[in-house]
Structure formats: structure tokens, C-alpha cells
């Protein structure tokens, strides 16, 4: 571990995988699956000499077939090298750094345990294969897609029984396709630009980081919003109910996600009803949404809650109800999204950008059969496949929302933010 930490500090590690179940073969295959690239594996340094292979015998008796015996012995040692599950790691490094990496391993007393065993295949007809070489000859090769589907088969069979079988089949079919370019980042903005800089010395609007019992990640949300130039305040729903805080004290609020009410089905709906069924709170929220200097953001359970409050949010009449994912399971994965051209102040200047985001939700399906209008809703972001096309196909779209929809905003006639800043912008709720 000390050697690995030293190499990380030097910036010389591209990938790392510990050897475990399945040995070296499973380790290298899993790295190839993750990297969407073929691998050429050479076991010469692992198929050690000795073990009787170099014995000197007369050409009599059993030794008359010595060449065949040596061949079988080397096959046996090859299998041992590939499927040995003892402690070990596979490191990927740049070719130019190989000698320096070996030197670092030598300095940590690992020289006799370290071997160069292969390289990725980035071009040519074999770029979608995993190959094993020994004695300058290929002893095994198979398409990456075939290996990946074999590796996934047990999980697929379980998912067919446990989850929506259509989604299980769709995910399995998408595994290891040679034409899949994988996730990518394509930005229409510079992430290093500090968009808050022009406003920081003018004002720091007050934002309530709103939460309910069971909500999490509110501290991280507060930090992110503070970095954007806002003053943040921790506001629990009980604070609003008891009058310790009022929404008219803030220019914005963010309803955080997580597990409100233990994340029971429709938890965000329950959160909304705690407002709608409380006349004083309902009036307070309606007044907040009716102001011309406010904004709101709902994430996860908070998104579900805001969608349920659409009857008291001007311009939100077309928002859907968010119900259980079509996969029938909680989805926790990286998904590729595209920012759309919309009135949302949160995505100003980002339209057309594609990037992977962390998805963690059980009820993200935009269900227009229960509420809203899919033809009129203002779309702010959608799921796309690895080619950048909007998709309803699982797992690229983890919840099955129509058109890949994953974020909505309320309507507005404006297309750009006024030079005076967000305070004068008429579209403030997303």
C-alpha cells in the first residue's frame, strides 16, 4: 500500500484493481469492461520455470514424450497464473512511466513480486478482445462483449426474477457493445468560470436549506450554495410550522433529497401534504411562489415535493407526478444527462452540455398519466445514451421517464438573465 500511495502521489497510476475472486483473469477482464477496451495479457513472467520442467533426463521411457509433458505442464501453470486468488494487485501505468514505476516498486522491496503482464489494445481488429499470450503465441482470446455478458449473467438472471424483466433484459443486452463509446463530458461552458463573482460584493441573498425528517445531504447542499455567493440557513419544516422561521425572510429555498419520512412510497408527496393541509403553511408557500424576487429548487424527495405543490406555483401546472421507477427498483448509478435550453436560472449558459451525474432515487418516473402535460411542460434536463441521443431505454434512462425527462422548470417568456442579475429575473422556480 505504501508503494501504491507513492505512485499515486507521483501521478503515475491510471487504474488499480486488487486481485481476488476469479484471480488475475477476472481482475483484468473487469478492468477491460470498465475501460471499454481490449487487453493483451502476457503470462510468460508468471509461468515460472522449475517444477520439473527443466529436468534433464535421458530420451528413454516416459521422457520420450518430454515435449508434450512440458507443454501440458505449462498449460497447468498458465491456469494457475490466471486463476490464483492470492493477494495481489494490477496497476495500469503509462508506457513512458513503466521504468520509473518498477523502480518505485523496487524501492519498496517488491521487485521480485512485480511483473509487466500486458497492455490495452486501443486500435486494430483486436481492440474489442481480451487475449492471453504465452511463449509468443496466443493461447486464448474472446470478444469483450461475450466475456462481459458471461460475467453479468448471474446478476441478469436474478434481476429478471427480482425486478422488471424488460429492464433486466435491456441492461444485459446493452453490455459490452463494441460500438458503445461510453460516458463522456461535453460542456458548453467553462466550469472554472466563477459566475457568482460579479455579484458577490453586491449582495448575498438569503437561502433556506429546507429539510424534513430523514432528509440528508443538506450540509453539502449548504456548502455548494454558499460557494455560489449565497448566505445559507438550515431550516427544518418544524421551524416553519412553529413560526421560528418564515419563508418571507428568504429570497430562495432548496428542498433537499434523501429519505424524508423514511423514504416510504410517495415520501415527497407526504412532505407536500404537510404543507397543503396546513392552511398557514400553504398560504406562506403560495405567497413565496407569488413573489417576483424568489427562486426554489427541489432535489430528489424535494423535487417530488415541489411537483406536488404545483397547484400553488404559478407556471407549474404542466409538471408531472413523480412515481416509482419503471425498473421497480431503487436506482443508484452514474447516468449521462443533457442540459436543455430552458428558462431555469440554474442552467443559464449550460444548454447543450452533456455530463455524467450521480443518480439515487426510487421514484423518478415522470408520470404524466396522473398529473401534468408532457407536450407543454418546460423541460430543463434529460437522460441521453452514450451517443448523446435522448432515451427511454434502460439503464441509460434509469427511471423510464418519457423523452428522458429528468428536470422541469416553470414557464417564462425570458430567454436570458438580465444584466442586473438574478433578482430581476422573472423565472425563479425550478
Report the C-alpha gap between 170 and 168 in whole angstroms. Answer: 5
Collect all residues with Cβ–Cβ distance below 8 Å to 272 and sequence separation of at least 6.
Answer: 304, 305, 306, 307, 308, 309
- Predicted confidence band of residue 61 (pLDDT cuts 50, 70, 90): low
DSSP H helices in 47-97: 66-83
Q: Do strands 252-255 and 206-211 pair parallel, antiparallel, or not at all (unpaired)?
A: parallel
Report the C-alpha gap between 128 and 176 in whole angstroms. Answer: 9
pLDDT for 49: 44
Residue positions counted in the chain? 430
Instruction: Please compute the mean of the pLDDT values over residues 349-377 and round it to a whole number.
Output: 95
Phi, psi of 5 (to 5 degrees): -65, -40
DSSP H helices in 201-335: 218-227, 237-242, 267-276, 279-290, 301-308
Q: Tens digit of pLDDT for each residue in 235-286? A: 999 999 999 999 999 999 999 988 777 767 678 888 999 999 999 999 999 9
DSSP H helices in 84-113: 98-107
pLDDT for 424: 42
CA 122 to chain centroid, in Å, comes to 24
Collect all residues with Cβ–Cβ distance below 8 Å to 297 and sequence separation of at least 6.
Answer: 252, 253, 254, 255, 346, 430
pLDDT for 430: 43
Locate 428 and state its grid cell: 425563479
pLDDT over threshold 90, residue 197: no
pLDDT for 55: 46
86 or 69, greater pLDDT: 86
Q: Tens digit of pLDDT for each residue in 377-388? A: 999 999 999 999
Candidates 340, 297, 312, 304; CA nearest to 428 is 297
pLDDT for 144: 94
Collect all residues with Cβ–Cβ distance below 8 Å to 179 and sequence separation of at least 6.
Answer: none
pLDDT for 24: 96
Instruction: Please compute the mean of the pLDDT values over residues 278-306 and round it to a whole number.
Output: 94
The full set of domain ranges for the chain reads: 2-173, 197-424
pLDDT over threshold 60, residue 305: yes
Burial class (CB in 10 A: 0-12, 13-18, 19+), 316: buried
Q: How many helices (H) and strands (E) does the chain have?
A: 12, 16
Report the C-alpha gap between 429 and 421 in whole angstroms. Answer: 15
pLDDT for 412: 56
User: CB 376: neighbour CB atoms within 10 A?
Assistant: 9
Q: E strand or H helix at 94, and its extent? A: none
Instruction: Please compute the mean of the pLDDT values over residues 295-318 and round it to a whole number.
Output: 94
pLDDT for 423: 40
User: What value does the mean pLDDT of the chain take?
Assistant: 88
Q: Tens digit of pLDDT for each residue in 323-348? A: 999 999 999 999 999 999 999 989 99
CATH class of 197-424: alpha beta
Query: What CATH architecture applies to the domain 2-173?
Result: Alpha-Beta Complex (3.90)
pLDDT for 199: 73
Burial class (CB in 10 A: 0-12, 13-18, 19+), 249: exposed
List, as one string, the DSSP characters of 140-195. EEEEHHHHHHHHHHHHHHHHHHHS-HHHHHHHHHTTT-TT------B-SS-TT--T
pLDDT over threshold 70, residue 69: no
- Predicted confidence band of residue 86 (pLDDT cuts 50, 70, 90): very high
Instruction: Give the least confident one: 235-239, 320-324, 426-430.
Output: 426-430
- Predicted confidence band of residue 182 (pLDDT cuts 50, 70, 90): confident
Report the C-alpha gap between 250 and 293 in whole angstroms. Answer: 10
User: CB 151: neighbour CB atoms within 10 A?
Assistant: 16
Q: Tens digit of pLDDT for each residue in 201-213? A: 778 899 999 999 8
Instruction: Please compute the mean of the pLDDT values over residues 73-90 and round it to a whole number.
Output: 92
For a pLDDT cut of 70, what percent of the chain falls above it? 89
Orientation angle between helical segments 279-290 and 267-276, nearest 10 degrees: 100
pLDDT for 73: 84
354 or 361, greater pLDDT: 354
Report the C-alpha gap between 123 and 6 in whole angstroms. Answer: 31
Locate 60 and state its grid cell: 528413454
Instruction: Please compute the mean of the pLDDT values over residues 25-44 and round it to a whole number.
Output: 94
Instruction: Please compute the mean of the pLDDT values over residues 118-131 and round it to a whole number.
Output: 92
Candidates 304, 251, 317, 232; CA nearest to 275 is 304
For a pLDDT cut of 90, what percent of the chain falls above it? 72
Report the C-alpha gap between 404 and 304 in whole angstroms. Answer: 17
Amino acid at each position: 500500500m505504501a508503494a501504491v500511495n507513492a505512485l499515486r502521489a507521483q501521478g503515475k497510476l491510471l487504474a488499480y484493481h486488487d486481485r481476488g475472486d476469479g484471480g488475475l483473469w477476472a481482475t483484468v477482464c473487469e478492468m477491460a469492461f470498465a475501460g471499454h477496451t481490449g487487453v493483451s495479457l502476457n503470462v510468460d513472467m508468471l509461468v515460472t520455470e522449475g517444477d520439473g520442467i527443466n529436468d534433464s533426463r535421458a530420451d528413454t521411457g516416459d521422457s520420450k514424450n518430454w515435449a508434450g509433458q512440458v507443454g501440458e505442464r505449462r498449460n497447468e501453470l498458465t491456469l494457475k497464473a490466471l486463476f490464483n486468488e492470492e493477494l495481489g494487485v494490477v496497476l495500469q501505468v503509462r508506457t513512458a512511466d513503466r521504468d520509473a514505476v518498477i523502480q518505485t516498486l523496487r524501492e519498496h522491496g517488491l521487485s521480485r513480486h512485480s511483473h509487466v503482464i500486458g497492455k490495452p489494445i486501443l486500435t486494430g481488429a483486436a481492440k474489442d478482445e481480451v487475449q492471453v499470450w504465452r511463449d509468443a503465441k496466443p493461447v486464448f482470446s474472446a470478444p469483450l462483449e461475450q466475456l462481459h455478458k458471461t460475467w453479468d449473467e448471474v446478476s441478469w438472471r436474478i434481476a429478471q426474477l427480482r425486478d422488471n424483466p424488460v429492464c433486466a433484459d435491456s441492461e444485459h443486452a446493452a453490455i459490452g457493445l463494441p460500438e458503445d463509446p461510453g460516458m463522456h463530458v461535453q460542456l458548453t461552458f467553462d466550469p472554472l468560470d466563477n459566475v457568482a463573482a460579479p455579484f458577490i460584493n453586491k449582495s448575498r441573498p438569503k437561502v433556506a436549506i429546507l429539510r424534513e425528517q430523514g432528509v440528508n445531504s443538506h450540509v453539502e447542499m449548504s456548502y455548494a450554495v454558499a460557494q455560489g455567493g449565497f448566505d445559507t440557513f438550515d431550516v427544518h419544516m418544524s421551524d416553519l410550522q412553529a413560526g421560528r422561521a418564515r419563508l418571507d425572510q428568504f429570497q430562495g429555498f432548496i428542498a433537499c433529497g434523501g429519505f424524508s419520512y423514511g423514504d416510504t412510497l410517495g415520501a415527497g408527496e407526504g412532505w407536500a401534504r404537510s404543507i397543503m393541509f396546513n392552511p398557514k403553511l400553504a398560504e406562506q408557500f403560495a405567497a413565496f411562489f407569488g413573489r417576483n424576487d424568489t427562486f426554489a429548487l427541489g432535489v430528489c424527495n424535494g423535487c417530488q415535493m415541489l411537483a406536488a405543490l404545483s397547484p400553488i406555483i404559478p407556471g407549474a401546472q404542466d409538471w408531472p407526478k413523480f412515481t416509482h421507477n419503471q425498473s421497480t427498483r431503487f436506482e443508484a448509478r452514474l447516468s449521462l444527462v443533457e442540459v436543455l435550453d430552458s428558462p431555469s436560472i440554474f442552467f443559464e449558459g449550460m444548454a447543450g452540455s452533456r455530463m455524467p451525474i450521480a443518480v439515487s432515487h426510487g421514484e423518478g418516473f415522470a408520470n404524466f398519466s396522473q398529473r401534468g402535460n408532457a407536450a407543454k411542460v418546460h423541460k430543463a434536463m434529460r437522460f441521453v445514451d452514450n451517443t448523446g441521443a435522448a432515451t427511454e431505454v434502460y439503464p441509460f434512462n434509469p427511471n423510464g421517464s418519457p423523452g428522458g425527462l429528468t428536470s422541469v422548470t416553470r414557464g417564462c417568456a425570458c430567454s436570458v438573465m438580465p444584466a442586473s442579475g438574478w433578482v430581476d429575473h422573472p423565472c425563479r422556480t425550478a
